[in-house]
Every structure is written in structure tokens, then in C-alpha cells.
Amino acid sequence: MRGLRKNVIIRLLSGIVFSLLLTFLQPWAADLIKEPPALPGEVSAADRREEKEVTLRVCNWEEYIDLGDWDEEETIDLDSGDVIGENSMLEDFEKWYYDTYGIRVHVEYSTFGTNEDLYNMITLGDTYDLVCPSEYMIMKLLTEDRLMPLTEEFFDSSDKNNYYINGVSPYIRSVFENNEIDGKPWSDYAAGYMWGITGIVYNPELVSEEAASSWKILSDPAYHRQITIKDNVRDSYFAAIGAIKSELLTDEQFVHAPDYQKRLEEEMNDTSKETISRVQDYLQDVKDNAYSFESDSGKADMVTGKVAANYQWSGDGVYTMDQADEDGFTLEFAVPRESTNIYFDGWVLMKDGIREDPAKQHAAEAFINFNSRADNVIRNMYYIGYTSVISGGDDRRIFEYANWCYGAEDGDKDVTDYDLGYFFAEDGDETKDYVITAPSDQVYRQLFAQYPSEEAIARSALMVCFDEEQNQAINQMWINVRCCNIHDIPAWVWMIAAVLIMSSVILVWKNYSIHRSGMR
């Protein structure tokens, strides 16, 4: 009998071990079966062997790429041709890559919900080749040496298939070249995808533009329980700094100082002890004053009229205003006068995914390029509502798209010229070529959220990637704000709890003794 049991245990264990082995060795075994990667010069050699397939593991934000399947009537009819998303962008890419380079590629597409989720996923063992985090997460990954630099070929503007370098907005390019981390400019490692700023979406019938143009609205008792704020520590921190430093940030002298941009960024990224504790006090007020912290419901609540204003990323702001338009009422977008957080989501190549495999690297960079082609940019923008970093270069279709969306109709009388030269104009261009004549209210609405005015951009600040110590302090602050402190529990609650516990103990004990006496 003993021997038998041992036997069973051995069988069991070997079963477990075997299946564990199978699970862990699968990717490795698959690598073995595959052929060795081709060298860069051998792309044409790989051409002949059609069975070879590159697998590209892409991880992007949820709902952040066109998945196709548009209705016929959704066709965007631009002067330079129609744009419509029939198939998903991923299928189209696979087809385009094969037609252009003669190599089969298979995109394994996954999504993530927050930058922190992505970080945890890739740190706990998921491997991807190409991911699309926000700028601060790119900086974090870069300082941890987990990114592959983009190749020189990617920046070769003579190759017409390099849609990214030929199409990226000069404004974005300068941001990516001038911001450095560890002495390396972002552009060496990251290619932009979408960008935007933060602001307040508000209902003009309930909230004035004046009030919505300050972060202080979040704690304004006039809007008690009527405003939602983002449920994440970085966005809340930025807004709180904007509110507590409001006077300094809007001071004429500060705004017109020659080193305004640099000082603004320093102020908005201030993590001194004193500031953190002031932010905590402020956010505690906000918690008592706001409708709630929300991670996803803000857009819907704005449209259903549950709240009067909400803290929003500009891309989501566009979506919210579009939804409200469909329901027949007007929402507007304001960028606080103190400062606004400018953010970029960008494609980066992961070292542990690409593993110096040139075929993979090529496919990954081609994926970026394909998504930077003007018609695909328009498809993605239409589908997700955010603003692409691509302005199109010589291809005017993206500007035409902006004009198609927001330009005035022939009959409109109340129109305003809205200058987007800062974003679209290349060196040689006249900036007046990029002026949209829009209905005047668009200056406070979708057009403003989709392509913020140069003036709003001027007061934008990047939020840097905090180091571990700063992160710890800020996260502790956040927990202090969000948790119920045990010292704040009122005495009457303790008393009720004590009475309840006492009485239940007495009850149980009494029952128990009855049973005992019954036994006797």
C-alpha cells in the first residue's frame, strides 16, 4: 500500500513537472524550430523563402488603433482622396509589409490599461517587441536600459516608405530631439504616436469658461460634488500643483521671464516635502469637494449630465464633446491658465523582445512607419479621437482632415481663423497655409482640444519621470488622501462596534452554555 501511494505521488509529480516544462519551454522550442534570423543584407534572400514569417509582438493602449469595419457612410471624403477603414490596421499592415518587403509578418497584438500595468507586465515576464507607453514611462524604461535604439535607416528621409520621419510634425520632432534622459535625446529611442494636453471639459450652461480655466475649480465650493477628477496620482498631482501655485504661475513677471519654459517645468515637477504636503492638503479638499475620482466613467458621466465638469485628457475630451453633440447639447474644453500637462505616447522597441534580431527590428520600425502614413493616421485619429504626432510633411491630407472635421461650412457667418502653423508648417512653408477657418465656438471646443492653440501649448509642461524616492513620497501622499485614516474614525463608530461585538460574544457564549447544559 505504501509503495503504491509513492507510485501515485511520483506519477503526479512527474505530471506536474512535465507540464511545467512544456509551458516554460514552449517559446524556446518554437525558437529552435524556426530558422535563424536573416541578416539585414539578406532581406532579399529571405524573399525567396516565403514560408519564413516574422512574429511581431505589439502592446498598445486599449482602443488605440483603428480596427476597421467602418460603415460605407463613414468615409472621409478629402480633396486628396477618400479615407475609410475597411480592415483592421493590423491586417492592413501585414499585407502592406508583404507587398513592400516580400516578408510575411504576423502581428500578435495585446493591450494594456495603464502605463503602470504595462510596466508590471513586462517586468513580470511578458515579452513584447514594440510597446507604446507615455513619455514618463519611456524615460523610466530608458533609464533601466530596456530599450533598443531606432536604427539609422528609420531616420533616412530619402526612403519614401519611411513615413514617420517624412511626416512627423516639426513641433513634435523638436520636442523629441530637445528632451533628453541620461544624455540621450528621446528621438534616439522613441517615435511618437499620439499626443495631447490635459484640461477641463465643462458644460457652459453650468460652468463659466473663466472658472473652468483654472485648476482651482476642483476645490471650488461653488461646484460642490459636481466635478470629477482623474483617479491616478500623476494627473492629480499635476492639477494640485497648478492650483496651489496658481498665483505664481499666472504672475505676469513669471510668465514673461526669459527662462519661463524651464522654470514652469521645474515648478510643475516640484517634489519638495513642503509641496507634497500642500498637495496632500489640497487633494484632501478636492476629495471632499469633487464628485469622485474616476478612472473611466468621467466621459459617460459628462454626457449623461451627472457632473458639470471633468478633468480630462484632450483626446478623451474630443470624444466626450462629440458624444454630447450627438445627444444635442454643447460641451466645451478649457485649458487652465496656470499650466497644462503635455503628454506623448510613443513607440519604443524592447531589448528583450527584439534581441538584436534585425528582421524583427525592421518589422517593428515598418509598423511605426505604416501607422504614420497619412491615410492611416487619419483612420486612427478618426477611430480613437486622439491627435497624431504626424502632420504629414508634403502630404496635406492630415491638415485637410482637420479642416474637414472642424472647418466652417459655406453658410456660417460667425467664423474665426485658427492658426495651426506651429504644428503643420515645415521650414519652407508659409504658416498661413495652415489656418483653419472654423465656426467661432470651435475655438473652445473639439478643434481646440484636438489641436490646442499655440498659446495653450506655450504654457504646457512635461511631467518628468520621478525617481524612486520621489515616487515613494508621492504615492504615500496619495494613499494618505485616499485611505480612511484610523484616527479619523469617529468615537461613536467604535462604540457601536464595541457594543455589537460584546453582544454577539455574549450571545454565542450563552448559546454554548445552553448546549452544554443540554448535554449534561
Partner 1 sequence: MQKKILSRKSLGIPYMIFLALFVMAPLFVLIYYAFTNGQGEITIQNLTGFFSDPNTLGTLCYSFGIAAVTTAVCLLLAYPVAYVLATSHLKEKSVILLLFIMPMWINFSLRITALKELLTWLEGNLAYHPFLNTVIGMTYDFLPFMILPIYTTISKLDGALLEAARDLGAGELQAFLKVTLPLSLPGIISGVSMVFLPAMTNYVVLDMLYNSTYIMGSLIGSYFASYNWHGGSMIALILLGIVCLFTLLTRGDEEETARGGVLL
| Three-state SS letters, 289-356 | HCCEEECCCHHHHHHHCCCCEEEEEHHHHHHHHHHHHHCCCCCEEECCCCCEEEEEEEEEEEHHHHCC
Q: How far is the CB of 91 from partner 1 (least distance, A)?
A: 30
Nearer to partner 1, 229 or 324 (CB): 229
Q: Single out the segment in contact with partner 1 by CB under 8 A; choices: 113-121, 157-165, 273-281, 386-394.
A: 113-121
* Residue among 234 and 360 whose Cβ is closer to partner 1: 234
| 39 contributes a contact to partner 1 by CB under 8 A | no
3-state helix, strand, coil in the chain (%, to 5): 55, 15, 30
Q: Is 279 in the site for partner 1 (CB under 8 A)?
A: no
Beta strands in 4-136 (DSSP E): 53-61, 76-78, 81-83, 104-112, 130-131
Q: Does residue number 2 form part of the binding site for partner 1 (CB under 8 A)?
A: no
Between 7 and 208, name the residue whose CB sits nearer to partner 1: 7
Among residues 68, 106, 64, which one has the least CA distance to residue 87?
68
- Select from 93-101, 129-137, 251-259, 476-484 the region that touches partner 1 (CB under 8 A): 476-484
Q: Which three cell numbers stand for residue 147?
A: 530599450
Those residues whose C-beta lies under 8 Å from the C-beta of residue 400, and which sit 6 or more positions away, are 78, 79, 80
Which residues pair with residue 165 across a beta bridge?
Answer: none
Q: 225 or 432: whose CB is closer to partner 1?
A: 225
Q: Which three cell numbers stand for residue 177?
A: 530631439
Using the contact rule CB under 8 A, the part of the chain among 17-25, 266-274, 327-335, 382-390 near partner 1 is 17-25
- Radius of gyration (Cα) for the chain, nearest Å? 28
Strand-pair category, 184-185 with 180-181? antiparallel
Least distance from partner 1 to the Cβ atom of residue 362, Å? 33
Residue 110 CB, nearest approach to partner 1 (Å): 18
DSSP character for 93? H
Q: Is 292 in the site for partner 1 (CB under 8 A)?
A: yes
Q: CA 74 to CA 404: how far, in whole Å?
A: 13
* Strand ranges (E), 372-515: 387-388, 415-419, 435-439, 460-461
Of 62-70, 143-151, 155-163, 468-476, which part binds partner 1 (CB under 8 A)?
468-476
Contacts to partner 1 from residues 19-38, by CB under 8 A: 19-20, 23
Size of the site for partner 1 (CB under 8 A): 50
Q: Which residue number, 329 or 512, has a Cβ lying nearer to partner 1? A: 512
For 118, the grid coordinates are 504595462
For residue 116, the minimal CB distance to partner 1 (Å) is: 4
Does 120 help bind partner 1 (rule: CB under 8 A)? yes
Smallest gap from residue 308 Cβ to partner 1 (A)? 11
Least separation, in Å, of the C-beta of 163 and partner 1?
A: 35
Read off φ and ψ for residue 108, nearest 5 degrees.
Answer: -95, 110
Q: Which stretch binds partner 1 (CB under 8 A): 38-46, 128-136, 224-232, 260-268?
A: 224-232
Instruction: Give SS3 for 206.
Output: coil
267-275, 377-385, 397-405, 473-481 -> range binding partner 1 (CB under 8 A) = 473-481
Task: List the grid coordinates of 232.
Answer: 491616478
Q: How far is the CB of 486 from partner 1 (least distance, A)?
A: 4
Exposed e or buried b for every residue in 45-73, given b needs 16+ CB within 10 A? ebeeeeebebebbbbbbeebbbbbebeee
- Rounded CA-CA distance 302/309 in Å is 7
CB of 484 to partner 1, least distance (A): 4
Residue 90 near residue 65 (C-beta atoms within 8 A): yes
User: Which one, 173 or 482, has the nearer CB to partner 1?
Assistant: 482
Q: Which of the ranges 213-221, 240-248, 415-423, 471-479 carries the binding residues for partner 1, by CB under 8 A?
A: 471-479
Looking at residues 478 to 497 of the shown chain, list those that interact with partner 1 (rule: CB under 8 A): 478-480, 482-489, 493, 497
Residue 233 CA, chain-centre distance (Å), reads 14
- Candidates 100-108, 230-238, 247-255, 405-413: pick the segment binding partner 1 (CB under 8 A): 230-238
Minimum distance of partner 1 from residue 497's CB (angstroms): 8
Task: Please tell me the distance from the alpha carbon of residue 50 to that of residue 69, in angstroms, as a whole number.
Answer: 29
- Judged by CB under 8 A, the stretch of 14-22, 97-105, 364-372, 442-450 that binds partner 1 is 14-22
Of 296, 314, 389, which Cα lies nearest the Cα of 345?
A: 389
- Give the number of residues written for the chain: 520
Residue nearer to partner 1 on the CB measure, 59 or 381: 59
Nearer to partner 1, 147 or 290 (CB): 290
**Residues near 502 by Cβ (< 8 Å), separated by ≥ 6?**
none
Distance, in Å, from the CA atom of 140 to the CA atom of 464, rounded to the nearest integer, reads 10
Q: Binding residue for partner 1 (CB under 8 A) from 6, 10, 15, 257?
A: 15
Q: Which of 114, 143, 246, 453 binds partner 1 (CB under 8 A)?
A: 114
Q: Which positions touch partner 1 (CB under 8 A)?
A: 4, 7-8, 11-12, 15-16, 19-20, 23, 114, 116-117, 119-120, 225-226, 231-233, 287, 290-295, 297, 306, 471-472, 475, 478-480, 482-489, 493, 497, 511-512, 515, 518-519
